[in-house]
A and B are shown apart, each in its own frame.
Chain A
Amino acid sequence: MSRPLVLACVVAAVALAAGGALPNVIGPYFMRLVIFSLIYALLALSLNLTLGFRGELSLGHQTFFGVGAYAAAILATTYEWPLLLLLPIAAACAAITAFAIGLVALRMRGPYFAIVTLSFGVIAQILAVNLVDLTNGPMGISGIGATPSSYLGFTVPWRSDIVCYAMLVILVFLSGLITFALRESKFGRAWRALRDHEDLAAAIGIPDFRMDLLALVISAAMAGVAGAVYAFYTSVVAPDDVFSFAIVIAMLIPVVLGGRGTIVGPIIGAFIYAFAPEYLRIAQDWRLPIFGLLLVLLVILAPEGLVVLALRAPERLRARFRQGAAEARE
């Protein structure tokens, strides 16, 4: 096992072990922030597959989050299925949606792809508002995960902080692992080749359409899982929340902030995105404008992302130091 992988296992294990004590130490308010950070991290890892590795900007990723959330909400309220069973179902629903959307949207590339996915996001929201029989319309669905399940005498309260936290830590870890495995696989190499030079990559025989569809489907499955956990944690899904464009922004900023195409970057970016508002209290009203400006500045000044810059800083300093020492010797 390589070093980063061991490190990731250790961090996940520590985070899991700390879970029991965490709510008592940081209080319920900060616990909520931590849980939302983890949901954002899952979403950021999802968008990172298409934006970071494949280099396609999708502005419709909230659709997959929303489909996952609604799938979980509908099945949980009508059949009282437990969250654990609903996770793969939410992932599958989101993946199927992504496959259907991808068949049309992936005919376009670059910014056109962004426009088309944006349109699909709006269609999904309009459908969620209007298909009242299925989605309960603009009111949304509430009371999700109200009944705890019991296994072998243990009851599992699905929407409690502890359960959601533990589940999310495991899911973020697994998503990171899947991303890592994909990056090292032939698919990851194909995506990078397509990102760096699309026509050349297609010319040497990389099946671009199928590769893009694969990236979109896997990415959507991750977002769908995040949606299911969100539905159980907040116990309410409504079209204005889960299909809102704000979800895409909450996915984009962590990815760009942390570093497109890295794995740790989007996760750290998600925590910064969730926690920064707490420390920007003075700028309460100006929070979103600041995030917008931050996105612009990042793209211009640090396109590789803050986390990547920070991680590389010691190495650069060392190199400069060595260079300085060599010059002094001369």
Chain B
Amino acid sequence: MLQDLASGLVIGLAYALIALGLSLIFGVLRIINFAHGEFYMLGGLMLYSLTSRGFSFFPSLAGAVFGTMVVAIVIDWCVLKPLRRSDEVTIALATLGLSIFLANAALVIWGPVPHQIPSPFSMDPLVLPGGVYLSRLELFGAAATLVIMGAMHLVLQHTSVGRQMRAVVQDRDAAAVVGLNVDLIYRVTFAVGCGLAAVAGGLLGTMFLVYPAMGLQAVLKAFAVVVIGGMGSFSGAVAGGLLLGLAESVGGAWLPSGYKDIVAFIMIVAVLALRPQGLLGARQVRIR
């Protein structure tokens, strides 16, 4: 039981990290990034390519995140900028097209075979009080996620960039009127959001395996997290991620095998039926 809780927390933090980027992009740009899972995948696969060329783990991770952010900036410039004033369904179609493009281009470049990224830590697990086993990598991943979340919170609340982002969240037109460069804020937000997905892809990719189809799985979980926690809500993404991770690992122990992945979607349906704006979401989601 304690073991389930611990692994649930570790996975939940990773889910929260993917969802945080998705939620940030939604909050600022008002778009749902259907290609979010593909940035997660790019993070993992770039990390694999760099480590397999002999670079050590941490510089490679930084390189993979940077590379993913460059891709994100190019995409924002070529695809999202011309669609800034389009309706939501059109933008959703565009990001869906991007998702198909990136996932299948990765399939051509990297091939369908899953790859293993060598862990930078020793493989023997740590035994925590209560007889809970966690690998050093899992512990590092959880800690890194917490640090990143804290840093994101500080940036959003206490820096000029963060204040500008929050201004755009409140009212895009008013922010433009007082002289903020809304377009630049959009681009920075999109790059940061995708960068967060890449970090998660690198960390989870090292715990499990990396392959081009990993994005779809991840984005489905991230969608579940933001729907459960509330679209565009920072604390909602964190709470939703932890809740989903715990529900999956505890529920997975009870449910017949094969049904573990259904937990997320049952939770989506339950939340939508009972509290459509999500657990911590403001009433900004368009509901009936």
For the complex, give the distance between the alpha carbons of A130 and B257 in Å.
9
**CA–CA, A257 to B258, complex, Å?**
37
Contacts of B256 in A (CB 8 A): 130
A-side contacts of B88, CB under 8 Å: 110-111
Interface status of B286 (Cβ within 8 A of chain A): yes
Q: A110-B286, A126-B261, A289-B101 are in contact. Are A296 and B89 (CB under 8 A)?
A: no
Q: Decide: A123 near B101, CB < 8 A? Known: A115-B32, A245-B216.
A: no
| Size of the chain A interface, CB-CB below 8 angstroms | 46
Is B235 on the interface with A (CB-CB < 8 A)? no
**Closest Cβ–Cβ distance, residue B217 to chain A (whole Å):** 10
Contact B268 A296 (CB under 8 A): no
A residues in contact with B287, CB < 8 Å: 107-109, 112
Q: Which residues of B contact A289 (CB under 8 A)?
A: 100-101, 104-105, 108
How far apart are the CA atoms of A118 and B268 in the complex, in Å?
A: 11
How far is the CB of B170 from the nearest CB of chain A, in Å?
Answer: 20
Dominant SS among interface residues on chain A: helix
Answer whether residue A328 sits at the interface, using C-beta atoms and an 8 A cutoff. no
Whether the Cβ atoms of B108 and A292 lie closer than 8 Å is: no
Interface hub of B93, B103, B107 (most chain A Cβ within 10 A): B93
A309 at interface, CB cutoff 8 A: no
Q: Are B79 and A296 in contact (CB under 8 A)?
A: yes
The answer to whether A119 has its CB under 8 Å from any CB of chain B is yes
Instruction: For A129, list chain B residues within 8 Å (CB).
Output: 258
B268 partner residues in chain A, CB cutoff 8 A: 115-116, 119
Partner of A119, one of B96, B105, B220: B220
**With the chains together, A293 CA to B103 CA distance in Å?**
11
Q: Compute how far the CA of A129 lies from the CA of B258 in the bound complex, rounded to whole angstroms.
A: 8
The 3 A-B pairs at the shortest CB distance, nearest first, are namely: A292-B101, A295-B97, A292-B100
List 24 A–B pairs whose Cβ atoms lie within 8 Å, in order of A's numbering.
A56-B89, A104-B272, A106-B288, A107-B272, A108-B276, A109-B287, A110-B88, A115-B268, A116-B268, A119-B223, A126-B261, A127-B262, A208-B288, A209-B288, A252-B93, A252-B96, A289-B100, A292-B100, A292-B101, A292-B103, A295-B93, A296-B101, A299-B94, A300-B82
Residues on A facing B (Cβ under 8 Å) = 51, 55-57, 59, 104-112, 114-116, 118-120, 122-123, 126-127, 129-130, 208-209, 245, 249, 252, 256, 285-286, 288-289, 291-296, 298-300, 303
